[in-house]
Amino acid sequence: MAKKLDPKIAHTLRDDARNLEQQADSNEPYPANTKISRPNQPSRMSNVRLSEEQFAALQAEAGRRHLPVSTMARAWLLDRLDIERSAS
């Protein structure tokens, strides 16, 4: 049996979406505490050589955190860069 959305709920959702779209098209300035980011900008790739033992340790830590190895390595590199910048 196919599930169907209640027409009243669908109407309410459409109205809500239209209201949100109208607000989003506003020309008003962003609130003062808004942080603007530009995701998906071009990025650079870098290869890192690790021994089997080092890679296994990184892989194990990434697995414990349920992250891909590349995400874990990137996070650690960025954390270290922040530490180095703060120290200088």
Q: What is the mean pLDDT of the chain?
A: 88
Could you count the other beta carbons within 10 Å of the beta carbon of residue 67?
14
Q: What is the DSSP string of 10-71?
A: HHHHHHHHHHHHHHHT--SPPPTTPPP--TT-----------HHHHHHHHHHHHHTT--HHH
pTM above 0.75, yes or no: no
The residue-averaged pLDDT of 14-37 equals 81
The pLDDT of 58-70, averaged and rounded, is: 95
**Confidence grade of residue 1 (pLDDT, cut at 50, 70, 90):** low
